[in-house]
Amino acid sequence: MASLIPKVVLSPFVTGPLLAVLAFGPPEVRGPLVEKLGSIKVPVDILVTVLKFLVPLGVVSLINNVLNGWALRNWKWSSDSTKDWVWGQEVAVITGGSNGIGAATAERLALRGVKVAVLDVMDLSAELKASPNIKYFNCDLRNREAVAKAATEVRSTLGSPSILVNNAGIGNAGDILNLTPGALHAIFDINLIAQWYTIQEFLPDMIKKKKGHIMSVSSMSAFTGIAGISDYCSIKAALTAFYESLNQELKHRYHCPEILTSIVYPLWTSTRLTEQLEEDIKKASKTPIMKVGTVGDAMSKQILECKRGRIFLPNLFWTRAAPGLRGLPLWLQELIRDDTAKMVVQQGTSYEMGMEKQ
């Protein structure tokens, strides 16, 4: 319901007719409407003034949405990106897919017949093992040779992947002065650098076929620094630049705009990655912690509908506006960042794809 209100308020197809009737409508039409609106206890002249502001704002918003869609389709007015996808013949690679968001996405794709290769250091859960469409490949994503070996095994076992979901990640809870070189190398290698490795392995076949979908899992922390997880915020911000650069290279270096790309920005989600921090988050955050199924639903829906672009979760007006945070006045940015100061209090924990590291 909360997400519906901005859509209604910013729809010129709603506000336009309402303004026309209230400001210019004949008495026999205007009268009954004014009577019905009496329950909201707002004078009609004030409502008309507000609508005079909302109508042009809605028109601008509508034009902006049309232009955004045009840009996402690589400046084409129509897209036929769904025609070549046959889910029973597709192969998806999901890194860090043994649990959490990756596992939820794997389950949903497998239900549609997609053959899913999970690259992880942890074995599959009993539920995932029960699926005939999900296969596990042990892979330490920090190691370039290990990624190449796993990629070869995936291709020889399942076929050439058309879908790549870079989901694997770890999280270090620690202040800048407390983070060790080992912890820093681990989180940057797994959360960021490994995405170069997997794309280097699987993108060439996608380019040859002019078909594919590459999805990266970032975070809402990409848009602000948070005390206690400086490394995590830095990586998630870097993933945005990586996603944008990948799009540019697909269009202008490889001349293959047919390949779809997506990036996901979830807010706090209940996974093994966050379980040590959940109490701190609940005390400091005004938004409930999401379930992994919510994120998995959105990610699999984006893939199965052959859409590209950014996914903000939860899908609210303020989360979609988050990329504009750094364009706000500095004093307002600092107030927003200060509000996150108590979100991460637990120190010295580190989780790799859900498995605790020492």
Mean pLDDT value across the chain:
87
pLDDT higher than threshold 70 for residue 358: no
Q: What is the mean pLDDT of residues 284-303?
A: 88
Which of 10-24, 156-170, 270-284 shows the lowest per-residue confidence on average (mean pLDDT)? 270-284
Q: Are 220 and 263 in contact (CB under 8 A)?
A: no
Q: Residues 76-97: what's their mean pLDDT? A: 85
Tell me what the mean pLDDT of segment 135-157 comes to: 98
Single pTM value for the model: 0.84
Note the pLDDT of residue 279: 63
Q: Which of 11-15, 82-86, 299-303, 316-320 has the lowest mean pLDDT?
A: 82-86
Please name which of 121, 96, 126, 99 lies closest in space to residue 272, comparing C-alpha atoms.
99
φ, ψ of residue 213 to 5 degrees: the values are -145, 120
What's the pLDDT score for residue 20? 84
3-state secondary structure of 356: strand
Return the H-helix or E-strand segment holding 182: helix 181-188
Give the tens place of pLDDT for each residue, 223-272: 999 998 999 999 999 999 999 999 999 999 999 999 999 999 998 887 76
pLDDT of residue 334: 93
Dist CA 69 CA 62 (whole Å): 11
Q: In the chain, pLDDT over 70 holds for what percent of residues?
A: 87
pLDDT tens digits for 34-84? 777 766 777 778 888 888 888 898 898 888 888 888 887 777 776 656 668
Between 334 and 46, residue with greater pLDDT: 334
pLDDT reported for residue 351 = 38
Q: If you search the block for the tokens 């769904």, which residue do you land on?
A: 82
**Residue 345's pLDDT band (cuts 50, 70, 90):** low
Whether 9 and 62 have beta carbons less than 8 Å apart is answered as: no
Q: Over the stretch 160-209, which tens digit does the pLDDT of each residue have? A: 999 999 999 998 878 999 999 999 999 999 999 999 999 999 999 999 99
pLDDT for the residue 113: 98
Strand partners, 312: 265
Domains, the chain: 4-72 (no CATH), 87-356 (3.40.50.720)
| pLDDT at residue 112 is higher than 80 | yes
